[in-house]
Structure 1
Amino acid sequence: MLEAFTRSRKRRAIAAPKFYFFDCGIPNTILGRTLSPKTPEFGKAFEHFLFLETVAAMRYDGRIVKLNYWRSASGYEVDLLINEHTAVEFKTGPIHIQDTRPILALQEEIPLKNKWMVGLEKQVRLLENGVEVLPWKEYLARPQHLG
């Protein structure tokens, strides 16, 4: 279970938690779903996988880390907030600057040390607004930066 981050100054935050199975294949098997790229189900499985890998890396290192997600009542959502200073958004499609709006909205609420969009991109790049785009393998190679 991933608790919502609700300490917001400007926007009303949604407080409902998110639930993740230990194995992201379980819900797909139960529901009889197959994962095709460019579908919402693929995106959810990608987010699920990266969340579980993040948790595993932190536990392996023995670090105590606070993990949350953030969703505003107006619909902005950041998939993962690490120690209240690193915002991570997972995305399976091409990443454009407009995709960073949720992270920038969260930054209006709290100061962020890292702002990352993680996806299927091939190279690390820095957007004009300071959000870093990371290939998912690069993200997983950075566990020391997550806490």
Structure 2
Amino acid sequence: MDDVEIAVMTPTHIGDVHAISLSSFPVSWSREDLLKEVYSDNSLNLVALENGKVLGYINIWYVYDEADVINVAVREESRKRGIGRKLMLEAIVRLKDKGITDLYLEVRVSNLPAQRLYASLGFSTIGIRRKYYSNGEDAYNMHLEISGK
């Protein structure tokens, strides 16, 4: 895990990020949409790298003092190594530096590992979004106050 570094996503990472997205989500973003995020003034996009290989990524949108985690994904063969945690922790630090005070996300009610991760980082469940996902699955809406972190 010490060999894993967190870096800002660049256009050179898009192919790997897209492949991770395709294997992680029922509905994946296109390469073009991912590339747009790299150049967006209101998004934070990070990758986890090991020896130059993309192991995972995170997309966050922010406006004023609030941010939303849009996607977090890790290559299947690299899961359970703390990479998602490392991405989240680095994102929180960078968001705090931007003056962001509140971070929100949605997580599938069936995704217990992600829920445990978010709870361990201090997120609390503030609601439920019924039929949030394209397959009709509900999502928990979670919140983290990062101003004091």
TM-score of the superposition, structure 2-length normalised? 0.38
- Which of the pair has the greater relative contact order for Cα pairs under 8 Å at 6+ separation? 1
TM-score of the superposition, structure 1-length normalised? 0.38
